[in-house]
């Protein structure tokens, strides 16, 4: 369950947080497919409880396994999966299987299902009192059974040790696999027993050959385990058969790029920093929780600090470590605020501006040139190792990827002006950060690589971006 099944010349997952299914389908066709994105993490598909102020986090309070949410219904979901797969873009669903919604006498869901959560009755599944761990709250992260057998934030805690509960979860996930999804993010995996999860994973169907997957392929699974050390539960309990979110990558990268650690130390980034093995790790700069101070979030780089954010994202995408994920956000001031919506609570579609950026309250980091061009960089250098590391013993760094790509970063408060080994064949290359190749010319900076592979690299402290990246052209 560790292979994301990207199609050829595609890679990197974008989290289209709170997007509607019909908008995602359009985005696959008009942008993600052509740009080489590998897949999408969707918001939860399962029916959730409706909360009056419509915070984003109502979607983490399931009320049934029906596919009806503010993102759309089952028909819209199936249409999206079909259209995205056709364009070489995979769908991974955020699966909320640790718990159901919380204490409310009469809860009503986005599909009209009801629940008496104080009586542990979820009529539309159905689940009853015997299907839950009851009577305690998650309070002690030094105690494994407290973390796994108690209620997280008061959310009704399913007992995955029960065959009936597992069967309901397995049926839900298999239904999604059968319509063509390629995998899952497992929400709150830390709060479930790894053995119970393995039983579930082993009963999942192979990916659907009807939707273009080769036979015998297992779904990609990345389990959300926030492990920054010092707790009873470790991410290393989860990476035997499936991938795990590596939160240390997010925290440490934000530290480094915000000046709490010198960039020269990134020389052994990855396992050398105590992270999970590269093939087991799903990595990101920020996610939907830590970008707004939820889920162990603290001082994480986000789109709000755009220059540093783009530098950290470029570093992540240029570096061979992990399966990379890009966050795509909506604007928010208040950490509870839901996505752009009309007065009836219907989500408003992103508009697309003439320059390709988004409007209507959507940030669309995945459409920023500095980010989508680095997604392509990663596709071009795929399979190569890191070589020719250079640093100035401070915050200016550069490295190469096996003769296919070169990146330099200036995190110091002075100019970078340096002749560096690029490892690329001689020629003139467009910097993909400051511009694109337009009508045969670089719209941004260009870099001339000599026959010795060396090039003069300049990133002034006054520049709009603190990165420069060049690569060979994609083969197809």
Closest CA to 98 of 133, 146, 140: 133
**In Å, what is the CA distance from 327 to each residue of 61, 91, 160, 303, 436?**
22, 15, 30, 9, 22
By the rule CB under 6 A, 102 interacts with ligand LM2: yes
Each residue 181-220 as x (binds Ca ion by CB under 5 A) or -, in order, gives ----------x-----------------------------
CA dist 137 to 128, 153, 266, Å? 19, 7, 39
187 binds, among Ca ion, ligand LM2, none (CB under 5 to 8 A by kind): ligand LM2
320 forms part of the interface with ligand LM2 (CB under 6 A): no
Whole-angstrom CA distances from 191 to 133, 202, 327 are: 12, 19, 24
Residue with tokens 């419509």: 54
Q: Considering beta carbons, is residue 338 or 350 the nearer one to ligand LM2?
A: 338
At 151, phi and psi to the nearest 5? -80, 125
What are the structure tokens assigned to 150, written together?
């108690």
Q: How far is the CB of 331 from ligand LM2 (least distance, A)?
A: 18
Q: Is 319 in the site for Ca ion (CB under 5 A)?
A: no
**Can you give the three-state secondary structure of 317-362, one letter per residue?**
HHCCCCEEEEEECECCCCCCCCCCECCCCCECCCEECCCCCEECCE
Indicate whether 177 belongs to the interface with ligand LM2 (CB under 6 A). no
Rule CB under 6 A: which of 136-155 touch ligand LM2? 152-155
Nearer to Ca ion among residue 196 and residue 412 (C-beta): 196
DSSP annotation of 238 reads: T
Q: How far is the CB of 226 from ligand LM2 (least distance, A)?
A: 7
When asked if residue 54 is in the footprint of ligand LM2 (CB under 6 A), the reply is no
Q: Which residue bears the tokens 């299907």? A: 131
Which residues from 280-299 bind ligand LM2, rule CB under 6 A? 289, 294-295
Residue from 327, 329, 98, 319 nearest 223 by CA: 98
Is residue 121 a contact point for ligand LM2 (CB under 6 A)? no
Report the sign of the C-alpha dihedral through residues 222, 323, 142, 293, in that order. Answer: negative
Residue 365, interface with ligand LM2 (CB under 6 A)? no
The nearer residue to ligand LM2, 190 or 319, going by C-beta atoms, is: 190
Measured over the CA atoms of residue 254, residue 258, residue 259 and residue 265, the dihedral's sign is positive
Which structure tokens are listed for 161? 């040790």
Nearer to ligand LM2, 224 or 431 (CB): 224
Q: Does the footprint of Ca ion cover residue 78 (CB under 5 A)?
A: no
Q: How far is the CB of 191 from ligand LM2 (least distance, A)?
A: 7
Give the residue numbers annotated as catalytic, written as ranges.
187, 224
Nearest approach, Cβ of residue 112 and ligand LM2 (Å): 19
CA-CA distance, 308 to 285, in Å (whole number)? Answer: 11
Contact mark string toward Ca ion, 90..129, x via CB under 5 A: --------x-------------------------------
231 is a contact residue toward ligand LM2 (CB under 6 A): no
Q: Is 166 in the site for Ca ion (CB under 5 A)?
A: no
Q: Where on the chain is the footprint of ligand LM2 (CB under 6 A)?
A: 57-58, 60-61, 96, 102, 152-155, 187-188, 224, 289, 294-295
């Amino acid at each position: 369950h560790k292979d994301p099944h990207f199609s050829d010349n595609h890679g990197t997952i974008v989290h289209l947080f709170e997007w509607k299914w019909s908008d995602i389908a359009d985005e696959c066709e008009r942008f993600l497919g052509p740009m080489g994105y590998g897949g999408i993490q969707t918001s939860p598909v399962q029916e959730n409880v409706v909360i009056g102020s419509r915070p984003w986090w109502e979607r983490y309070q399931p009320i049934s396994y029906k596919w009806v949410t503010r993102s759309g219904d089952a028909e819209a979901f199936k249409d999206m999966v079909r259209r995205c797969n056709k364009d070489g873009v995979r769908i991974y669903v955020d699966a909320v299987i640790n718990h159901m919604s919380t204490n409310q006498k009469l809860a009503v869901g986005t599909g009209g299902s009801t629940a008496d959560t104080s009586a542990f009755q979820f009529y539309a599944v159905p689940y009853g009192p015997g299907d839950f761990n009851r009577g305690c709250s998650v309070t002690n992260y030094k105690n494994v059974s407290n973390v796994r057998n108690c209620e997280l934030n008061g959310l009704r805690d399913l007992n995955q040790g029960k065959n009936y509960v597992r069967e309901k979860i397995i049926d839900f996930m298999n239904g999604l696999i059968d319509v063509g999804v390629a995998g899952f993010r497992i929400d709150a995996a830390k709060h479930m027993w790894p053995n119970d999860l393995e039983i579930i994973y082993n009963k999942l169907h192979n990916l659907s050959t009807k939707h273009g997957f080769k036979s015998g392929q297992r779904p990609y699974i990345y389990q959300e385990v926030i492990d920054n050390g010092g707790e009873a539960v470790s991410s290393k309990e989860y990476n035997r058969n499936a991938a795990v979110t590596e939160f240390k990558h997010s925290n440490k990268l934000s530290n480094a790029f915000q000046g709490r650690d010198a960039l020269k130390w990134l020389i052994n980034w990855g396992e050398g920093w105590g992270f999970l093995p590269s093939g087991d790790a799903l990595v990101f700069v920020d996610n939907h929780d830590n970008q707004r101070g939820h889920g162990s979030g603290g001082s994480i780089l986000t789109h709000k600090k755009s220059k540093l954010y783009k530098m950290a994202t470029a570093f992540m995408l240029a570096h061979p470590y992990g399966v990379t994920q890009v966050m795509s956000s909506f604007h928010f001031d208040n950490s509870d605020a839901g996505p752009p919506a009309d007065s009836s609570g219907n989500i408003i579609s992103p508009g697309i501006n003439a320059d390709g950026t988004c409007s209507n309250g959507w940030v669309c980091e995945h459409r920023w040139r500095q980010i989508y061009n680095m997604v392509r960089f990663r596709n071009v250098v795929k399979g190569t190792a890191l070589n020719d590391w250079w640093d100035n013993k401070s915050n200016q760094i550069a490295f190469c990827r096996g003769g296919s790509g070169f990146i330099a970063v200036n995190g110091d408060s002075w100019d970078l002006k340096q002749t560096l080994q690029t490892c690329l064949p001689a020629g003139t290359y467009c910097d993909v950060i400051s511009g694109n190749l337009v009508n045969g010319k670089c719209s941004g900076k260009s870099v001339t690589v000599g026959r010795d592979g060396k090039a003069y690299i300049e990133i002034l402290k006054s520049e709009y971006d603190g990165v420069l990246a060049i690569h060979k052209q994609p083969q197809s």
